[in-house]
Amino acid sequence: MNNENKTSRREFVKNAAVLTGGVIAVPLASHANFFSGADDTIKVALVGCGHRGTGAAMQACLTKQNVKLVAMADAFRDRIDSSYKALTADDISETGASGNIKNKIDVPEERKYTGFDAYKKAIAHADVVILTTPPGFRPIHFEEAINKGKHVFMEKPVATDPAGVKKVLDTAEIAKQKKLNVVVGLQRHYQNSYRELYSRKNLIGDITSAQAWWNNDGVWVNERKYNQTEMEYQMRNWYYFNWLCGDHIVEQHIHNLDVVNWFKGGYLVKAQGMGGRQVRKGKDHGEIYDHHYVEFHYADGSILNSQCRHIPGTMSKVDELIIGTRGKIFCGAANIQDHTGKVLYQYDTKKENDPYQAEHDELFAAIAKGEYKFSDTENGAKSTMTAVMGRMATYSGKVMEWEKLLASGISIMPKTFDWNALPPVVPDEDGKYPIAKPGVTKYF
């Protein structure tokens, strides 16, 4: 079933947080570093004009700063058109915002770019770049943005394989040297309840273990159309192909794994787990699993138990539980309890904010003031690596080690980006794709 056409404009924005530990606030030498014009307009380019990209562009335009969207890039023209229509609508109130943002959208025909090279052309026009394609492309697009001296908002995950994570980490160093702000769309870091819980994490003592869940029914499917090349089909149905998506453990469960890394203040050293496909058996279900269960180990021996499942009719739960020597943090319920169940802190949920909007409010305010304040990249890349390591553990059934994987250079990306090129996985004569088999699939 194709659910994409049913997406309302409200969801464009709804699909829309990380102060990486300490916040750096270093005034920049000159506004000329990031303002390309003489006025104070902050020019934005959108790369990936789908649901999230449209929402993020709206949020950028809804900040208090003088923002203009000046260029759009997408692999497909129809995605630019639907995004542009939503952004220039007379009334965007169904997104939760009031009025419209038409006067902030300045994207004439000659600044709408399509195809695999479109990103380069759009990025050239901007001070700030929004990167919201499927995550497989993120390392390439991020590298271009930073090399060209742009500030970045980029969605999670930031890669789909160890080579991609490494490229993003290397590029993060350049971003730091150039003092370019980077916000990664792990929006719980920008969400009031999570920030309040984080600031009180000492109430639970030392963190000894954690649980993380992303269990629900699953996501959209874009069925194959008769006239598509294999490359176009996979790009349209990207969720089901690892080079584009990373599997749902990477694409969605990253949010929960990232929260645990954040509270723990570190990353994992090894992982082992199990997973498979119980219900994802159709031709349009590509190669990803529908469930994973992974035991992640931190260097100090504490363990993160993670489960993610996309199976309709099963228990839904998207949450994190962090367990310490003196108590527990229940992230979803936004409270902290001791081991007898006594509530030590309860966040007032009436004070909850829209973290998607907060990401942009904070990023654009820093840019307007000439501050270097956000360097989310390293955290975004390492939480992506956590999830990639989880997938490689469930696919292989072997213990995966962080350092070995990160140094492995393993890439699952295509060598050539062209509509007629063959992607790295292709279907057999029955239209089925090869599926990873624990015990058989090997990475080393």
- Residue 295 sits at the vertex; the CA angle it makes with 290 and 298, to the nearest 5 degrees, is 135
User: Which residues, in sequence order, are CB contacts of 199 under 8 Å at separation 6+?
Assistant: none
Question: CB of residue 238 vs ligand NAD: minimum separation in angstroms?
Answer: 6
- Examine residue 51 and tell whether it contacts ligand NAD (CB under 6 A): yes
- Examine residue 320 and tell whether it contacts ligand NAD (CB under 6 A): no
User: Which span (41-49, 95-103, 263-271, 341-349) binds ligand NAD, by CB under 6 A?
Assistant: 41-49
- Examine residue 251 and tell whether it contacts ligand NAD (CB under 6 A): yes
Cβ-proximal residue to ligand NAD, closest one: 50
Question: CB of residue 146 vs ligand NAD: minimum separation in angstroms?
Answer: 17
Question: CB of residue 418 vs ligand NAD: minimum separation in angstroms?
Answer: 12
- How far is the C-alpha of 114 from the C-alpha of 71, rounded, in Å? 11
Ramachandran region of residue 437, left (φ > 0), alpha (ψ -120 to 50) or beta? beta
In terms of CB distance, is 53 or 275 closer to ligand NAD? 53
- Examine residue 48 and tell whether it contacts ligand NAD (CB under 6 A): yes
User: Which residues, in sequence order, are CB contacts of 335 under 8 Å at separation 6+?
Assistant: 329, 343, 344, 345, 346, 347
Site for ligand NAD in 167-186 (CB under 6 A): 185
Residue 46 Cα to chain centre, angstroms: 15
Contact 336, 150 (CB under 8 A): no
User: Which residues, in sequence order, are CB contacts of 182 under 8 Å at separation 6+?
Assistant: 146, 151, 152, 153, 154, 172, 175, 374, 375, 376, 377
- Examine residue 155 and tell whether it contacts ligand NAD (CB under 6 A): yes
Residue 214 Cα to chain centre, angstroms: 15
- Examine residue 156 and tell whether it contacts ligand NAD (CB under 6 A): yes
Q: Which of 11, 41, 88, 116 binds ligand NAD (CB under 6 A)?
A: 116
- Examine residue 139 and tell whether it contacts ligand NAD (CB under 6 A): no
Contact 360, 406 (CB under 8 A): no
Helix residue spans in 206-267 (DSSP H) = 230-236, 248-251, 254-264
Q: Which of 45, 46, 47, 231 binds ligand NAD (CB under 6 A)?
A: 47
In terms of CB distance, is 154 or 172 closer to ligand NAD? 154
Q: Which of 15, 63, 216, 357 binds ligand NAD (CB under 6 A)?
A: 15
Which stretches of the chain bind ligand NAD, using CB under 6 A? Answer: 15, 47-53, 73-76, 79, 116, 118-119, 132-135, 137, 155-156, 185, 187, 235, 251
